[in-house]
Amino acid sequence: MKLRHLFPALAFWLISLPSLAELSIQITQGIDNPIPIAIVPFSMQGSGILSEDVSQIVTNDLEQVGEFRALPPSNMLGLPSQESEVFFRDWRILAQDYLLVGRIDQAPGSQLVQVQYEFFDINRELKLAGEVLTGSVAQLRDIGHEISNVVFEHVTGLRGAFTTQLLYIVSDYVSPELTYFRLEKSDYDGQRSQVLLESQEPVMSPSWSPNGQDVAYVSFETDLPRIYIQNIATGQKRQITNYPNINSSPVWSPDGTKLAMVLSKDGSPDIYVQDLVSNELVRITNHPAIETEPSWTPDGRTVVFMSDRTGQPQIYQIALGASAFDVERLTYDCFQCAKAKFLPDGVNLMHVRRETRQNPSYQIAILNIETLRVITLTDTSLDESPSLAPNGSMIMYATKYNGRGVLDAVSIDGRVKFRLPSTQGDVREPAWSPFLN
């Protein structure tokens, strides 16, 4: 067994305001033949009553991504909590492929817990993983998500993203004269949401720093759009831009040293890159059309952006240091294409597309720039602001449901979908965090 401690900095719990809009996942589509897994309720050693059910958190995580189907505990033939109590024959009878068991130890009067788990391949009668995670009672959700990561990676070969987080904007309409705008952060599943910033002026375009410690965003708190960087743990922020007219769409370079952004200080909106160490500002594009929505290629050498220089929004890219005339167009087959970002492979391009002039719908799609194959992932009509999970498996985006802005997620093959509806306000502009540990 390996012993690990989960004691992340908790300062942001102290400075963050309580959230008014709770998000909770609703699975809307899964795969046809999910992997059968038995997640046995973890046994409890001690007299305390825990606020979180670790085994249920793992169950929710794995079922929410659509690839797993958990066996109901009422159908189990036994409730083992450790390897010596596991009889593989019982689980094969129940047609299960994998088994997770565990126990939680808490000393009387202590806020510390030890969670021991063991994960098995039933058909091979093989123990795949097992360790002891130590943390506070308040970190039980983190421990559950970490166990989900281990299970997911062992079964799929892909790193789990259950310990990642989301940024998003919530707008609460109060009256024609008053709307509250909040920048919120939550777990990937919408739980434990916290308000990082609240304002009566618009807040938009949140973007994670690559180390997950800071967020860049646009705020109108001075009555003009300006770009800010805020430390998530301390709440301290600094204003990055104060140029005339448009200051928008900040996005960090992969190495965290630069911000790409949109400025109109020299006329029409163009793409600029600011060095966050030297504050040097470099103009990347120079065209009378609207150039906006920058993103970076995975190697950080090229900026992807949207331009209407042909009359309709299309996706282009330009290498850093290149002439403003050395622009490469990437999309040709759509009436409008926007909000593009490359997947980690640098070949597949996530974007929002409107197919024809006659069709007013906007969907999330993937374009392979080598084969020009397009896979449309969503079928609602007003999908926007896609953000990719750090393992490249899911895309979170904003859409409308029952007249309200909500967040939806779809796998990059389109087979799995889930929704995070808000209990209050319109939710938009999701930003999925990088891996945080």
Confidence of residue 7 (pLDDT cuts 50, 70, 90): very low
pLDDT mean across residues, the chain: 90
Task: Quote the pLDDT of residue 291.
Answer: 95
**Adjacent-strand bridge partners of 388:** 395
For range 135-151, the mean pLDDT: 96
Task: Quote the pLDDT of residue 379.
Answer: 86
For range 282-301, the mean pLDDT: 96
Task: Quote the pLDDT of residue 162.
Answer: 96
Strand intervals (E) in 287-335: 291-296, 302-307, 314-319, 328-329
Task: Quote the pLDDT of residue 33.
Answer: 86
- The answer to whether 291 touches 271, Cβ cutoff 8 Å, is yes
Q: Assign residue 78 a region: left if phi > 0, alpha if psi is -120 to 50, beta otherwise?
A: beta
Residue 86: CB atoms within 10 A of its CB come to: 19
Query: How far apart, in whole angstroms, are the C-alpha atoms of residue 207 and residue 209?
Result: 7
Q: Which candidate, 213, 222, 297, places its Cα nearest to that of 260? A: 297
Residue 201: CB atoms within 10 A of its CB come to: 14
Judged by average pLDDT, the poorest of 83-92, 207-216, 230-239, 413-422 is 413-422
Burial code of 108-122, b = ≥16 C-beta within 10 A, e = fewer?
eeeeebbbbbbbbeb
Q: Which candidate, 372, 371, 361, 375, places its Cα nearest to that of 410? A: 375
Q: Which candidate, 7, 14, 122, 117, places its Cα nearest to that of 57? A: 117
Query: How far apart, in whole angstroms, are the C-alpha atoms of residue 406 and residue 285?
Result: 33
Task: Quote the pLDDT of residue 336.
Answer: 95
Query: How far apart, in whole angstroms, are the C-alpha atoms of residue 80 and residue 67?
Result: 24
Q: Is pLDDT at 132 greater than 80 in this prediction?
A: yes
Query: How far apart, in whole angstroms, are the C-alpha atoms of residue 136 and residue 138?
Result: 5
Q: Which long-range contacts (CB under 8 A, 24 or more apart) does 273-276 make?
A: 273/303, 273/320, 274/240, 274/241, 276/240
Write out pLDDT tens, residues 12-26. Answer: 333 334 445 566 666
Q: Is pLDDT at 146 greater than 60 in this prediction?
A: yes
Task: Quote the pLDDT of residue 18.
Answer: 44
Confidence of residue 366 (pLDDT cuts 50, 70, 90): very high
Q: Is pLDDT at 388 greater than 80 in this prediction?
A: yes
Write out pLDDT tens, residues 158-217. Answer: 999 999 999 999 999 888 889 999 999 999 999 999 999 999 999 999 999 999 999 999
Q: Is pLDDT at 248 greater than 80 in this prediction?
A: yes
In Å, how far from its chain's centre is CA 273? 24
CA dihedral 259, 265, 269, 271 (to 10 degrees): -30
Task: Quote the pLDDT of residue 403.
Answer: 83
Q: Which amino acid is at 285?
A: T
Helices (H) and strands (E) in the chain, counts: 4, 33
Q: Is pLDDT at 6 greater than 60 in this prediction?
A: no
In this prediction the pTM is 0.89
Task: Quote the pLDDT of residue 224.
Answer: 93
H or E element, residue 12: helix 11-15
Query: How far apart, in whole angstroms, are the C-alpha atoms of residue 209 and residue 230?
Result: 10
Query: How far apart, in whole angstroms, are the C-alpha atoms of residue 124 and residue 389?
Result: 31
8-state DSSP, 125 = T
Query: How far apart, in whole angstroms, are the C-alpha atoms of residue 269 and residue 246?
Result: 7
Q: Is pLDDT at 31 greater than 80 in this prediction?
A: no
Confidence of residue 28 (pLDDT cuts 50, 70, 90): low
Q: Is pLDDT at 30 greater than 70 in this prediction?
A: no
Going from the N-terminus, what domains does the chain have, and what CATH number goes with each? 2-10+20-156 (3.40.50.10070), 165-432 (2.120.10.30)
